[in-house]
Copies of this chain bind each other. A is one copy, B any other.
Amino acid sequence: MERVGDVGEDALVARIAARLGPPPADEVWSGDDAAVLAPTERSLVFTTDLLIERVDFELAWATPRDVGWKALAASASDVAAMGGRPRHAVVALCLGSEAETAFVDELLSGLLEAGARWGISLAGGDLSRGPVVVVCVAMLGATATTGPILRSSARVGDAICVTGSLGGAAAGLQALTAPPRRGTSGSGALARLVARQLRPAARVEQGATLASLGVTSMIDLSDGLAADLARLLAASEVGCDVDPARVPIDPDLMEAVGAGELQAADPLRLALAGGEDFELLFTIEETRVPAVRSALEESGCAVTQIGVVTSGVRRVGDEDLETWRQRGWDHFRGR
């Protein structure tokens, strides 16, 4: 069992660099003070995302490969939510000196697998040690066919839509962490929910497609529908009328609950207040919803209109959006 402390920093960097693959002739990736990337004619999209052991994941239930995948997916989702295409990432990694080199190899495999999935190159990074594992991805992309899609440009009367289905990642977290911690030992549905928590899919293709189809605003669902919708509406200075019956709940969540495998789970609450589904929430002129739906269904991605943008208060059925939002996650309140 080889530990990173046995190998040393330079050898570990070389070991990682060897797996990043050769860059194009006009680029420099790992191995120098910084990466050098070819210029682009389009606007740049630039974001960063931090995953922290014991806060965002536990190594008791997430493999290092899962952690690498998810770290890249979270940033890719942010770029997609701007209507951008992610291109390159640099990754700062903090490990304990007792960490095994196999841990680094596996984490890198997860990063590279997710990168291959969405066409994102790992161009470099930084290594450090510390008391917990920290993975900080910084990602660079470019806007697609149009300018960026902001949160702040929803218009009264627009349809409010989401891609895919919601609540699955939070249900997977519950399966992994709540007693009796069933993990992936349950049915197919439960295993798929766990996979949704551990290996989320960023809507990279869909983000670019939606941008080209004239969506008026967009945000990714990382902290839960209620919280992220509230952010979009606040930025746009508008209200909403959302029909909770139209919120697309993950079918695996319904199946697992129906089979008694997630006993304490409230599906609507997980769909509205649970986070990390990495679906896209967007607004668009209501007449354009059918065209958007058929365009995304070609890529196997459902689109559901859940409500409309209003000039009034923010409501989900009979309740305030704020009530739902307070049931969700806040990094600093820890709930």
Contact = CB atoms under 8 A, between A and B. Distances in A.
Interface of A: 4-5, 7-10, 12, 26-28, 31-50, 52, 54-56, 77-79, 81-82, 84, 88, 90-95, 97, 123-132, 134, 136, 138-143, 148, 150-152, 218-220, 231, 235, 330-334
B31 A36 contact: no
Contact of A4 (B26, B134, B332): B332
Given A28-B148, A131-B132, A50 B332 contact: no
A95 B49 CA distance: 14
A124 B46 CA distance: 8
A25 to B, nearest CB: 12
Given A132-B131, A333-B97, A49 B143 contact: no
A145 to B, nearest CB: 15
A96 to B, nearest CB: 9
A84 B123 CA distance: 17
Contacts of A143: 36
A152 B29 CA distance: 13
A36 to B, nearest CB: 4
The 8 closest A-B pairs by CB, nearest first: A138-B138, A34-B47, A136-B136, A33-B81, A50-B92, A52-B130, A37-B44, A33-B78
Contacts of A27: 43
B54 A130 contact: yes
B140 A50 contact: no
Given A36-B44, A150-B28, A220-B33, A50 B334 contact: no
A34 B125 CA distance: 19
B140 A334 contact: no
Task: Quickly give the copy total for this chain.
Answer: 2
B134 A52 contact: yes
Nearest to A44: B37
B132 A50 contact: no
A39 B39 contact: yes
Contacts of A34: 45-47, 78-79, 81-82, 84, 139, 141
A218 to B, nearest CB: 8
Contacts of A151: 31-33
Contacts of A55: 128-130
Interface centre among A41, A54, A78, A218, by most chain B C-beta atoms within 10 angstroms, is A78
Given A37-B43, A52-B134, A130-B134, 13 more contacts: A4-B332, A27-B43, A32-B148, A33-B47, A36-B44, A36-B148, A39-B44, A48-B91, A48-B92, A90-B138, A94-B134, A95-B332, A97-B332
Nearest to A101: B332
B332 A12 contact: yes
Given A330-B8, A333-B5, A333-B8, A50 B150 contact: no
Given A43-B26, A97-B334, A334-B97, A50 B82 contact: no
A50 B95 CA distance: 12
A125 B151 CA distance: 16
A123 B48 CA distance: 11
Given A332-B8, A332-B9, A334-B97, A88 B46 contact: yes
